[in-house]
Structure 1
Amino acid sequence: MDGTIDHIEIEASNADEMAEFLQNLGFEIHRETEHHGKSYELKPPNSEQPLFEIHTVEGEETPGINHIAFTSDDVEALAEDLREKGVDQVRDPYYVEATGRTILNFRDPDGRRFQVVSSDD
């Protein structure tokens, strides 16, 4: 993991309204997908900052920050390294066709989700 924050996922009551709100603050839509229903990735006004990924809450989810995602050149090797170090709930990396990237999810000691994505976007 190179320590660079790739994106911050926010679960919103209404993704369309949240995307419009962020656009009013100067964010630009980077990508729209059907990932988690309709999902938006928005670039902050300074494009050197992490993306905000927005989707509408579903089921038992509540509005708020879902996870922070970092980048890595080798997600598979990182998953193995985290398991060896005893990091909790390291999932197998998987490819997301909608974004064209490989994703790794794991939990911190309090159960919060962290994510690492392949840095080839």
Structure 2
Amino acid sequence: MLGEIDHIEIEASDAEEIADFLKKLGYEELRTTEHHGESFELEPAAGDGPIFEIHTVEGEEVPGINHIAFAVDDIEDVTDRLEEADVDSIVGPYDVEATGRTITNFRDPDGRRFQVVADND
């Protein structure tokens, strides 16, 4: 049902510092957005692997992995299948204008957030 990992969102104490660190490891900046104040999206220079989306923690957030997102072709179908499987806390699908994608969020039994994403081509 799910595709490859599309991206992993990391909440950092300093997003720019973590973005710079990933650049040292061979990642390249894909884009910055105003998501969560300022988010950095970085992809492997070779293009093989997930995107890291990084933002600075706010409020009561703590540094760590916020969610893992999987790429899908038909987000409506996948969302319907998640609902039929009685997966917890499904929100979506909805469009994210800043990234040009549609997403659906859901939670595992321990409450961790996962996401499926589809490009709006």
Q: TM-score range by the shorter chain?
A: over 0.9
SS at match of 1:102: strand
CA RMSD of aligned residues (A): 1.3
Aligned residues: 121
Mapped to 2, the partners of 1:32 and 1:89 lie a distance apart of 28
Give 5+ residue unaligned stretches, structure 2. none
Q: Contact (CA 8 Å) 1:4, 1:70: kept in 2 or not? A: yes
Question: What CA distance in whole angstroms lies between the structure 1 residues aligned with 2:102 and 2:92?
Answer: 10
Could you report, residue by residue, the CA deviation over 1:53-94 in whole angstroms, capped at 9, with x for unpaired residues? 100011111001111100111112211111111100111211
Which ranges of 4 or more aligned residues in structure 1 deviate by more than 4 Å?
none
Q: Which moved more, 1:16-25 or 1:93-102?
A: 16-25
Moved more, 17-26 or 4-13: 17-26
Q: Which residue of 1 aligns with 2:92?
A: 92
Q: 1:74 maps to which residue? A: 74
2:38 corresponding residue in structure 1: 38
1:103 maps to 103
* 2:62 corresponding residue in structure 1: 62
Q: Say which structure is richer in strand.
A: 2
What residue number does 2:27 align with?
Answer: 27
Q: Residue 15 of structure 1 aligns to which amino acid in structure 2?
A: A
Q: Distance in 2 between matches of 1:39 and 1:15?
A: 7
The DSSP-based 3-state class of the residue aligned with 1:109 is coil
CA pair 107-2 structure 1, distance change in 2 beyond 3 A = closer
C-alpha distance in 2, partners of 1:81/1:67?
A: 20
2:11 alignment counterpart: 11
Contiguous gaps of at least 5 residues in structure 1: none
TM-superposed CA distance for 1:34, in Å, is 0.6
Partner residue, 1:48 = 48
Please say which of residues 93-102 and 70-79 is displaced more in the overlay: 70-79
